[in-house]
Structure 1
């Protein structure tokens, strides 16, 4: 977000409820259930107490498998994303709720209607993280199955989002929307019919849900490929990225803002929020020791083995994880549920891992920990707050999507100990409300401009 000359840029924070990964230490006695709403309520209300912009939820369409086995530390039993964000919106008042929902296996009319409904019921606090599912493993859940080739994934996502925006814009008449909110019958003649026939969708409908208080849900995008960056520059309002070092973040921000300008959009119409893990201790030394303990809990032997087998493309069950990396080269090619990777990429990756292991005297498991479980911000509260602020003031990000290692109480220490320091620095809000905006929507809380009209739909002969 662009700041006024001489003013400090404001930090944006998002709370990610983890699960579809090995970040969360489920073996910790304090870990909560994923089917007990108390976990989600505590997490959501803690984030709201810390004045976060929104709560962010991943979606797991299937429990992940590796070599025919359920992946260690994955989540089984979590309810569907739309149900959870609806429930979390009901037990909060100001914070936004954003759900990850795939554009590959959903349909525009139904998903747009569901999101618009929750947006109304929450007072305009909903966002949609648009993802493109890439594999036949997830496709097995759906009638058409299979998976889309890489270029078609974003082509379908682009068409999906464009249709959704037209559906959300169909009730653009303010008087008509006001009548609907008072329970009066709508005049069908004043509701735009949405008709479209394109490569992936054929739609002909009159939307049933009025335009929401924020226009339409905030569009979030998570993807780092060239196609993903182009999609974000054209469609997204928040990017959730993995670039968590200052130098990588700065390069990513520069690249995306160039694409944003090429798409004809304003620089303040998109926020870049990398995912970040954190460990807060009484001192920097305490936090560093805790970080080591958490990393070893996150990467169990089973998780380390699965990670290495994915790179080597072969069964490594006989590997001593406390010993060196495999001496064999990775297999030529591996097809895993519709996803392929090249031997060149994996062999180069393996060579780099061996170099790291030799340089630092690391075992196989320690290499995986070093590659996947190094926490972004580690230190005393002042250290963590100052480092986050350095990224934002330096233009490497607009803030962070924070991923705690413990659910539901893993966010508590950050809210209680780091947030007050950011507030003292004058770079973080002390309330959601302002005199000019007593009831903010998610869009206004993020400082985003009003949504722009979407590109025209295609209508071709059948």
Structure 2
């Protein structure tokens, strides 16, 4: 059996503790030059797409703006439209919320990006669960969490109806007037539980038919949504066995929606650290993690789970000896703090006791995503092993430096994957659907 092709993508680091701000090589997350550098690096490496996240409100901690991760967040589609003029093949993926937008507006913006880029647009469909974010919008907090995927599903289906309202094909002459038009030419009518709209869509069908759809939810509803409607899953499952279980589960859901396993690409978010030797790479990785999780960050993260002010505790000392306050909490705008905090706290207490971890060491352990660490050859081998053993179809790399964090990967690891014959030597088509092997949407 031939080796599976590997898919690679780049994620521009957003507002979080991924970026090592103190590094002399760390640059702006606002200047357009930073976006250009990372996007062009990804294109030089023949990556499938460049991915931007979305932030609809600045996070807060204990009622104040969380100053450890305030960088601002330029609007994704605007940035990608600008990047379409300085790239030629790289896919351009934007996160756009389905809770606080409308299908007509989003479908038009994405179809426009698809035209501007020559067929390289992608949409990461996300939902918003919290009233805190909703306060920035007129409908703040109105949507129950259980209903968010109902809206997202109908939102996506409505957008597809709008894209399909312009039929593909050549212009057709009216037999009476002789005027030329495309069949359908934008007329639509959608009557559903979430949306009831009629009219004419004003953006002709894009080069891909439909932009590529990305999804990142991990709940049972999210997995079903992806199996039915997504082209790519941006997964958080990076540890090998966990990733294999997720891969198997999601791929098994495709058949009930009449889809083949290869019609959905699963791409976990990962990082990497290279070194001259395995030991050198491990030392560098440990240093990066300690810089990503500084003392203030460690305490702030723990406060999100404990629901208490823990500023009096030593980040390099033991975990707090008090039980968590499971009320409203002290952190706003972080999805990870909305689950079963009591269970998480008790799990961490047991882990810290078993391994003798300090607060900072525990947070480093808890917040780390899958990282490929080693020499260029061993990292290339690790990436290939994941894909060939059905733990992933590829990876979305989230560098720890902006904007040069992918330079070493593209320079030293990608050529080794190309030598293995598991990654493209060049682009074979102009559109993102071509890169992903999906074919044009009908």
TM-score, normalization: structure 2?
0.94
**Which residue of the partner structure matches residue 249 of structure 1?**
243
Aligned to 1:161: 156
* Residue of 295, 309, 319 corresponding to 1:315: 309
Q: How far 1:140 moved relative to its partner?
A: 1.4
User: What is the SS of the residue equivalent to 1:39?
Assistant: helix
- The alpha-carbon deviation at position 278 of structure 1 amounts to 1.0
Please give the per-residue CA displacement for 1:85-107, whole angstroms capped at 9, x wherever unaligned.
11111110011000101000011
Q: Corresponding residue for 1:445? A: 435
Of 280, 299, 314, the match for 2:274: 280
Residue 195 of structure 1 corresponds to 189
Determine helix, strand or coil for the equivalent of 2:267.
Answer: strand
Distance 2:311 2:399 in 1: 30
Asked if residue 261 in structure 1 is aligned to residue 275 in structure 2, the reply is: no
Does residue 346 of the first structure (1) align with residue 341 of the second (2)? yes
Q: Secondary structure at the match of 2:266?
A: strand
Partners of 2:268 and 2:392 within 8 A in 1: yes
For residue 214 of structure 2, what is the aligned residue in structure 1?
220
Q: Distance in 1 between matches of 2:391 and 2:335?
A: 32
Measure, in 2, the Cα distance between the counterparts of 1:38 and 1:344.
38
Counting only pairs closer than 5 Å after superposition, residues 23-422 of structure 1 correspond to structure 2 as 23-176=18-171, 187=181, 190-334=184-328, 345-373=340-368, 375-422=370-417
Displacement after TM superposition at 1:177 (Å)? 9.6
Whole-angstrom CA distance in 2 between matches of 1:293 and 1:285: 12
Structure 2: tracts of 5 or more residues without a match: none
Q: Is the 8 A contact 1:332 1:343 kept in 2?
A: no
Q: Is the 8 A contact 2:231 2:263 kept in 1?
A: yes
Q: CA deviation at 1:185?
A: 8.0
Asked if 2 retains the 8 angstrom alpha-carbon contact of 1:89 and 1:122, the reply is: yes
Task: Name the CA distance, whole Å, in 2 between partners of 1:421 and 1:203.
Answer: 51
Counterpart of 1:181?
Answer: none
Correspondence for 1:3: none
Which SS does the other structure have where 1:279 is aligned?
Answer: strand
Determine the C-alpha separation between the residues in 1 that align with 2:162 and 2:250: 28
Q: CA RMSD in A?
A: 2.2
Give me the whole-angstrom Cα distance separating, in 2, the residues matched to 1:342 and 1:77.
22
Contact 1:14-1:401 at 8 Å conserved across structures:
yes
Count of residues paired in the alignment = 437
In structure 2, which of residues 426, 429, 432 is the aligned counterpart of residue 431 of structure 1? Answer: 426
CA distance in 1, matches of 2:338, 2:113: 45
Aligned mates of 1:66, 1:103 — CA distance in 2? 26
Assess, with a 3 A threshold, how the Cα gap between structure 1 residues 425 and 341 changes in structure 2: closer, same or farther.
closer
Deviation of 1:194 (Å): 1.2
C-alpha contact (below 8 Å) 1:124/1:214 kept by paired residues: yes
Shift of 1:173: 3.6
Is contact 1:23–1:405 with CA below 8 Å preserved after alignment?
yes
Shift of 1:289: 0.6
Call closer, same or farther: CA 1:393–1:339 in 2, change over 3 Å.
closer
* 1:127-186 alpha-carbon deviations (Å, 9 max, x no partner): 0000001111211111121152222100000010001001111111411399xxxxx986
- How far residue 360 of structure 1 moved from its aligned partner, in angstroms, is 2.2
SS of match in other structure, 1:15? strand
Secondary structure, aligned partner of 2:35: helix
Distance 1:151 1:343 in 2: 14
Structure 1, unaligned runs of 5 or more: 1-5, 179-183, 434-438, 453-462
TM-score, structure 1 normalization:
0.90
Contact 1:313 1:333 in 2 (8 A): yes
In the TM superposition, residue 19 of structure 1 has moved relative to its aligned partner by 1.2
Q: Secondary structure at the match of 2:79?
A: helix
Change (3 A) 1:31 1:172: same
Q: In structure 1, what is the Cα distance between the partners aligned to 2:180 and 2:143?
A: 40
Tell me how far apart the structure 2 counterparts of residues 341 and 90 of structure 1 sit (CA, whole Å). 36
Q: Counterparts of 2:42 and 2:335 in 1: how far apart (Å)?
A: 39
Deviations 1:376-418 (A, max 9, x none): 2111101111001001000110010000000000000000010
